C-alpha cells in the first residue's frame, strides 16, 4: 500500500516555503510533505525529517538519494526536537510541520496490531527499543477501572465500561494476545446496533490503546511549546490532527499563545480536505489543519 500525504496543497500554503529556508517535518513518514517543501525551498534550503518509527525513516531514505544533503533524517521522538536541532545545528528554522496521523503503510505493513483487519499480536508501539508498554500489557494486566478510563478518555468510547468489564472477564480464561481475540471481546460487549455503525465498532478501542501505548497526547503537549520557541520571527507552525482530542489540544495551545502575543493564528477554524482530495483519499476526511505564525 502506498501512503498519500494529506492536505499537501494546504500544508504548502500554510508553511509558505521560500528559497533557501529551512523546515522541520516532525513526522516525516514516507516523505510526501517533505518532498513538496524541498521542491520550493531550493537551492540551499533544507528539511529535517524526524520520525519515531525506524521503519518510516527507512521509507523516506529516497529523499536523501534525490535531494542529497538538503534532506536530513533522524530516527527520534519529536518531543526531543530542541535537542535534535541543536545536535544537527539546524538553524534558522523557518517552519515546522506536525502531521499527527499514522500512515497507511504503518497500519498495513507492520505486525504491530494497529489494524483490526489483520490478525496480529497486540503490540502497537511505534518504537520497540524505547517503550516497554504494549497494548497486550494494558489489556491483560491493567485494572478494569484503568482500562475503562483509557477507552473513555482516549477513544471517547461510549461503551468503555462494558468493554473493560468483558476484557477482564475474558482474560480470566486466558491471556488476550491478538487483534482478532480483542475484536471478539469488544463485539461480545456491545449492542448489535452499535456493530452496524458508520465506523468499525473496534475503531475507538484500538485508537485509545495506541494513544495510551505511545503517550501520544502528552507528546503533543510537549512538542508544541518547543516548536514555537524554535521558530524564527515570521516562522510558521502547521499542525494536522486526525481526531478531536488532538485538535482540542492544538486549538487550546494556539489560543493561549496568541493571547500572550507570541503567535498569530492564521485560520480560526481548522482547514479540511477539499471534495477533490476526499474523492481520491478517504483517509483525509478526518484531517484538520491549523496554522500559526510567530510574531
Say if CB 28 and CB 34 are below 8 A apart: yes
Class of residue 281 by CB neighbours under 10 A (exposed 0-12, middle 13-18, buried 19+): middle
Q: Do 62 and 95 belong together in one domain?
A: yes
- The model's confidence at residue 145, banded by pLDDT at 50, 70 and 90, is very high
Q: Do 34 and 121 belong together in one domain?
A: no
Q: Do 47 and 180 belong together in one domain?
A: no
Q: Do 132 and 208 belong together in one domain?
A: yes
pLDDT of residue 102: 67
pLDDT of residue 55: 87
Sign of the Cα torsion 225, 230, 234, 235 reads negative
Q: Do 235 and 275 belong together in one domain?
A: yes
pLDDT, one tens digit per residue, over 153-166 is 999 999 999 999 99
C-alpha cell at 14: 500554510
- How many structural domains does the chain have? 2
> Does position 105 have pLDDT exceeding 90, yes or no?
no
> Does position 209 have pLDDT exceeding 90, yes or no?
yes
Flag whether 3 is in a domain.
no
CATH number at residue 184: 1.10.150.170
- The model's confidence at residue 116, banded by pLDDT at 50, 70 and 90, is confident
Q: Do 101 and 220 belong together in one domain?
A: yes
> Does position 1 have pLDDT exceeding 50, yes or no?
no
pLDDT, one tens digit per residue, over 11-34 is 999 999 999 999 999 999 999 999
Q: What percent of the chain is modeled with pLDDT above 90?
A: 80
Q: Do 14 and 99 belong together in one domain?
A: yes
Q: Do 81 and 144 belong together in one domain?
A: no
Q: Do 157 and 198 belong together in one domain?
A: yes
Say if CB 221 and CB 256 are below 8 A apart: no
> Does position 196 have pLDDT exceeding 90, yes or no?
no
Q: Domain limits at 280?
A: 8-105+216-294
**What rounded mean pLDDT belongs to the chain?**
92
Q: Do 221 and 207 belong together in one domain?
A: no
Q: What percent of the chain is modeled with pLDDT above 70?
A: 96
Q: Do 234 and 256 belong together in one domain?
A: yes
pLDDT, one tens digit per residue, over 74-96 is 999 999 999 999 999 999 999 99
Q: Do 124 and 155 belong together in one domain?
A: yes
pLDDT, one tens digit per residue, over 57-75 is 998 999 999 999 999 999 9
Amino acid at each position: 500500500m502506498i501512503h498519500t500525504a494529506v492536505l499537501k496543497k494546504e500544508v504548502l500554503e500554510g508553511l509558505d516555503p521560500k528559497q533557501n529556508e529551512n523546515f522541520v517535518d516532525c513526522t516525516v513518514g514516507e516523505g510526501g510533505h517533505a518532498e513538496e517543501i524541498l521542491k520550493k525551498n531550493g537551492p540551499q534550503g533544507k528539511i529535517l525529517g524526524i520520525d519515531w518509527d525506524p521503519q518510516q525513516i527507512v521509507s523516506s531514505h529516497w529523499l536523501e538519494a534525490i535531494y542529497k544533503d538538503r534532506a536530513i533524517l533522524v530516527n527520534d521522538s519529536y518531543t526531543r526536537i530542541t535537542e535534535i536541532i541543536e545536535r544537527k545545528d539546524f538553524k534558522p528554522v523557518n517552519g515546522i510541520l506536525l502531521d499527527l496521523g499514522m500512515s497507511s503503510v504503518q497500519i498495513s505493513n507492520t505486525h504491530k496490531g494497529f489494524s483490526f483487519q489483520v490478525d496480529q499480536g497486540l503490540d502497537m508501539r511505534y518504537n520497540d527499543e524505547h517503550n516497554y508498554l504494549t497494548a497486550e500489557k494494558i489489556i491483560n494486566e491493567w485494572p478494569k477501572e484503568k482500562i475503562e478510563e483509557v477507552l473513555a478518555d482516549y477513544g471517547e468510547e461510549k461503551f468503555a465500561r462494558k468493554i473493560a468489564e468483558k476484557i477482564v472477564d475474558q482474560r480470566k480464561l486466558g491471556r488476550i494476545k491478538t487483534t482478532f481475540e480483542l475484536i471478539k471481546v469488544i463485539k461480545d460487549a456491545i449492542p448489535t446496533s452499535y456493530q452496524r455503525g458508520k465506523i468499525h465498532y473496534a475503531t475507538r478501542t484500538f485508537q485509545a490503546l495506541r494513544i495510551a501505548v505511545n503517550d501520544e497526547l502528552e507528546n503533543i503537549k510537549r512538542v508544541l511549546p518547543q516548536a514555537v520557541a524554535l521558530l524564527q520571527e515570521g516562522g510558521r507552525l502547521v499542525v494536522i490532527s486526525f481526531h478531536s482530542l488532538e485538535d482540542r489540544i492544538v486549538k487550546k495551545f494556539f489560543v493561549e499563545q496568541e493571547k500572550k502575543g507570541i503567535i498569530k493564528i492564521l485560520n480560526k477554524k481548522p482547514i479540511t480536505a477539499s471534495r477533490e482530495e476526499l474523492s481520491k483519499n478517504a483517509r483525509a476526511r478526518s484531517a484538520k489543519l491549523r496554522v500559526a505564525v510567530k510574531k
